[in-house]
Chains A and B, each alone.
Chain A
Amino acid sequence: METASTNYHKTDVAIIGAGPVGLFAVFELGLLDMKAHLIDILDKPGGQCAELYPEKPIYDIPAWPVISGHDLTEKLLEQIKPFHPHFHFGQMAESLEKTDDGWKLTTDTGTVIEAKVIVIAAGGGSFVPKKPAIANIDQYENISVFYAVRKMEQFRGKDIVIAGGGDSALDWTLNLQPLAKSLTLVHRRDDFRAAPDSVLKMRALAAEGAINLVIADIKGLKGDAPHLSGLQLHSREKGDFEIACNTLLPFYGLTMKLGPIANFGLNLHENLVPVDTEKFETSTTGIFAIGDINHYPGKLKLILSGFHESALMAQKAFNYVYPDKKLRFQYTTASSDLHKKLGV
């Protein structure tokens, strides 16, 4: 797998989303001699298959009576390997501008991809951290409230509260404890779904007084926004009470939101991108949408629908990438030309 390192790239097709449908699009485009770059906010390929249900069996992939999300991703990566896709992980497609012969796509980390065609294969949108339902929390974000740790050093000497009971909450409790001035783990119950080893280590730190473990719900934030001074908590035993802190790190997992795609100037239908069913192109020429993100009469949100859509998309994308060439339809079983591309 090639992970691109420099910041500016020129390619045929930029695919937003490296889930199963984005990955298979690489194959269909590759058969027609089109190169692709993929952008994904996750740090790995597979989309929902990798993030939500890597171990869960899927039963409706043609010719695979049962396959896990992880294995499906691995098989797709194997299938598209001959086409050398470039991946840009941990990034969100942020803005899109028209150029003379295509599009300029910029990500939130500053990667710029110029492409003749844009394919939106963004599924349910970007995976972003869930936000707790606490009033005014957005006013504290990025100064006192963080949903991810990018640089640990930023948290040295802080009075930190970590909220949650999963692996992220426990991992960061263990990692930030040595740096923090004080660290309190707040969770709604005295049971943790995180890895047992992490839970044991956390409990040992709590027993020796190196961290505070508080079983309670977070009800409110204190302090003049954006500067946090404490939390209002509630528990069945103690009722309402407060603790002091200047940093809050909530870890409740990820959820999908459409994000900046909403600002790309495309027509939208309830957070989905309407397309035609001949080539799966959006209201904007040269921008396609395939997989769960698109909408058309009769749409079914199935992986296999996305595979079909990517094949038809590629036929039309060819016209934009090679305006002077005539497309010749060929089968992988018979075409020596395709065999050469596939390296078989």
Chain B
Amino acid sequence: MKIHVTDFDGKEHTLEALEGWRVMEIIRDHGLPIKAECGGCLACATCHVYVAPEWQNKLVPPSLDETDMLDMAVDVKDNSRLSCQLIMNAELDGLRVTLAPAG
């Protein structure tokens, strides 16, 4: 399984992904600059990513808590998600996201 992550310089990185891992954890584990300050407990909005349009409808929709927490992210768009809430599974193989500014 792989995910494709575009960094702040526009460079795309293809990362090995593991079933059951949060997308945030995969990005962090590969050393890309994602802050993810609260470690995945939905308390900080600093693992904000933009999901590629073709993937938006394939993701489990955001919970009310995630939508609320996105209010604490900067430059939120229609395709904004918190990557700590995206759990890898085979259906997400090839997922494409872009790191969002952390503020």
19 A-B pairs with C-beta separation under 8 A = A52-B38, A52-B41, A52-B44, A53-B38, A56-B43, A131-B103, A132-B75, A133-B75, A164-B71, A166-B71, A187-B71, A191-B67, A193-B68, A193-B69, A193-B71, A217-B75, A252-B45, A255-B35, A255-B37
A256 at interface, CB cutoff 8 A? yes
> Could you say which residues of chain A place their CB within 8 Å of the CB of B103?
129-133, 252, 255
Across the interface, which residues of A come within 8 angstroms of B102, CB to CB?
A: 130, 255
B68: which A residues are within 8 A, CB to CB?
191, 193
Collect the chain A residues with CB atoms within 8 Å of residue B35's CB.
124, 255-256
Q: Which of B40-57 contact A (CB under 8 A)?
A: 41, 43-46
Residues of chain B with a CB closer than 8 A to A189's CB: 71
CA distance A226 to B45 in the complex (A): 29
* Beta-carbon contact of B44 and A253 below 8 Å: yes
Which residues in window 187-238 of A have CB below 8 A to B?
A: 187-189, 191-193, 217
Q: How far, in Å, is B8 (CB) from chain A's closest CB?
A: 11
Evaluate contact between B37 and A52: CB separation under 8 angstroms: yes
Count of B residues near A, CB < 8 Å?
Answer: 20
Determine if A30 is an interface residue (Cβ-Cβ < 8 Å).
no
Chain A interface size band reads 20 to 34
A192 to B43, CA, bound (A): 16
Taking the nearest CB of chain B, how far is it from the CB of A164, in angstroms? 7
- Bound together, the chains give a CA A53 to CA B67 distance in angstroms of 18
Interface check A165, CB cutoff 8 A: yes
Cβ contact within 8 Å between A166 and B75: no
**How many pairs of residues, A versus B, come closer than 8 Å at their CB atoms?**
62
Q: Are B43 and A52 in contact (CB under 8 A)?
A: yes
Which positions in B face A, CB cutoff 8 Å? 35, 37-38, 41, 43-46, 67-69, 71-76, 101-103
> With A and B bound together, what is the CA distance between A242 and B37 in angstroms?
34
Expressed in whole angstroms, the minimum distance between the Cβ of A28 and any Cβ of chain B is: 25
Chain A CB count within 10 A is highest, among B38, B67, B74, B102, for B74
Contact of B71 among A53, A124, A133, A188 (CB under 8 A): A188
Q: How many Å from the CB of A86 to the closest CB on chain B?
A: 28
Query: Judging by beta carbons under 8 Å apart, are A255 and B43 in contact?
Result: no
The answer to whether the Cβ of A283 comes within 8 Å of any Cβ in the partner chain is no
Report whether A253 and B41 are in contact in the complex, using a CB–CB cutoff of 8 Å.
no
Given contacts A124-B37, A256-B37, 4 further A-B contacts (CB under 8 A): A52-B41, A132-B103, A165-B71, A193-B71
Check A188–B76 contact: CB distance below 8 A: yes
B71 to chain A, nearest CB (A): 4
B residues less than 8 Å from A53 (CB atoms): 38, 41, 43
Question: What are the interface flags for A310-330 relative to B under an 8 Å C-beta threshold, 1 for contact and 0 otherwise?
Answer: 000000000000000000000
Q: How far is B44's CA from A52's CA once the two chains are assembled, in angstroms?
A: 7
A48:B37 contact, CB within 8 angstroms: yes
Output the nearest chain B residue to A54 by Cβ-Cβ distance.
Answer: B43
> In the complex, how many angstroms separate the beta carbon of A83 from the nearest chain B beta carbon?
30
Is B37 in contact with A133, judged by CB distance below 8 angstroms? no
User: Which residues of B are found within 8 Å of A192, using beta-carbon distances?
Assistant: 71
The 7 tightest CB contacts between A and B, nearest first, are A130-B103, A193-B68, A253-B72, A133-B75, A165-B71, A133-B101, A52-B38
Contacting residues, chain B, for A255 (C-beta < 8 A): 35, 37, 44, 46, 102-103
Which residue of the partner chain B has the closest CB to A125? B37
Interface string of A114-157 (1 = CB under 8 A from B): 00000000001000011111000000000000000000000000
Closest to A130 in B: B103
| A253 proximity list for chain B (CB < 8 A) | 44-45, 72
Give bound CA distance, A189 to B78, whole Å: 11
B32 to chain A, nearest CB (A): 12
Give the residues in chain B near A130, CB-CB below 8 Å: 72, 74, 102-103
- In angstroms, Cα B44 to Cα A131, docked, is 14
Which A residues lie within 8 Å of B37 (CB)? Answer: 48, 52, 124, 255-256
